[in-house]
Amino acid sequence: MDHEMVVQQKMTERYLLNELNSASRDEFEEHFFDCPECAFDVRVGCAFVEQTKSVLAETSVAETAASSVHTATRVDRGWLAWLRPVFAAPALTLLLVVVGYQNLVTYPRLQRSLSRPQVLPWAPVNIGTWGSGGALITASPGQGFLLFVRIPPEGGYSRYTADLYSPAGKLEWSLTIPVTAGQDQWPVQIPGSNREAGTYTMAVRGVTAAGESKEVGRTSFELKIQH
């Protein structure tokens, strides 16, 4: 069991919630004994679960006491009844549980993932070769990738604008590329997102110092999502 699979399948959360079968649980325990990141997540998660149980127990006692006091004088107030403490307290507690778990487990994990070196899928693309037979990139769901974009050198431009279009023809994002003398290839990192598989198109426009723009060319590449 590798770390990427653990993250993608949310094994830590499922382990803490006791949602893993015995075989998966044994495999995960063997993994986090050798993985400092997962071991940290498990320790923090266990502490958080215990604290949450304590808070929920105190809330339950308070609700029971409040319910017994108001039983004799209970009045139906319609939708305003949801604002009473007996209903507001559980909702607030649930919100605190979600926010606390994000701050203690989810966000630190994302920060560690961003700071951890990784090898991204990549492919070279040449502007001006739009059509079938383009580059093929295989990425995991939500994973980013690199494009080494080659733009034919033409004089008179101070910068380029690269636009990426989805298979449905929707503009996903734009990027400004500064012109550097003698350079005709730029590494462009495509940020991770829940993209669909299919043929993506990149169009590049050259922009002069006066602000006039002209399309230099476009290219396409095939994105394959590997589950």
Q: DSSP code of 131?
A: S
Contact residues for 88 (Cβ-Cβ < 8 A; gap 6+):
82
Q: Distance between CA 45 and CA 67 in Å, rounded? A: 32
What is the SS3 assignment for 60? helix
Q: What pLDDT, on the 0 to 100 scale, is given for residue 161?
A: 95
pLDDT at residue 175 tops 90: yes
Is pLDDT of 90 > 50? yes
Strand partners, 81: none
Q: What is the pLDDT of residues 191-212, one digit of tens each?
A: 888 899 999 999 999 999 999 9
Number of neighbours of residue 207 by Cβ within 10 angstroms: 19
Q: Length of the chain in residues, anyone? A: 227
Which of 26-30, 40-44, 160-164 shows the lowest per-residue confidence on average (mean pLDDT)?
40-44
**Phi and psi at residue 106, to the nearest 5°:** -65, -55
Q: Which residue has the higher pLDDT, 31 or 161?
A: 161
- Domains of the chain (ranges; CATH) run 3-115 (no CATH), 122-225 (2.60.40.10)
State pLDDT tens for residues 146-156.
999 999 888 78
What's the CA gap between 217 and 152, in Å, rounded? 9
CB-based burial label for 64 (10 Å; 0-12, 13-18, 19+): exposed
Query: pLDDT category, 82, cuts 50, 70, 90?
Result: very low
Residue 153: predicted pLDDT = 83
Question: Is the whole model's pTM more than 0.95, yes or no?
Answer: no
Q: What is the pLDDT of residue 73?
A: 47
Q: For residue 35, what pLDDT is reported? A: 77
Strands 213-225 and 145-150, bridge-based pairing: unpaired
Q: Residue range 16-28: average pLDDT?
A: 81
pLDDT confidence of residue 54:
62
pLDDT, residue 80, reads: 47
Looking at residue 126, what is its pLDDT? 92
Q: Which parts of the chain are beta strand (E)?
A: 122-126, 135-139, 145-150, 159-165, 171-178, 185-190, 198-207, 213-225
Q: Which of 189, 191, 143, 134 has its CA nearest to residue 167?
A: 134
Lowest mean pLDDT among 26-30, 47-51, 139-143: 47-51
Tell me the mean pLDDT in the region 108-115: 55
Share of the chain above pLDDT 90, in %: 31
Q: Please give the pLDDT value at position 40.
A: 73
How much of the chain exceeds pLDDT 70, in percent? 64
Q: Helix (H, G, I), strand (E, B), or coil: what is residue 15?
A: helix
Phi–psi pair at 206, nearest 5 degrees: -90, 135
Better pLDDT: 8 or 105:
8
- CA–CA gap between residue 2 and residue 10 (Å, rounded): 12
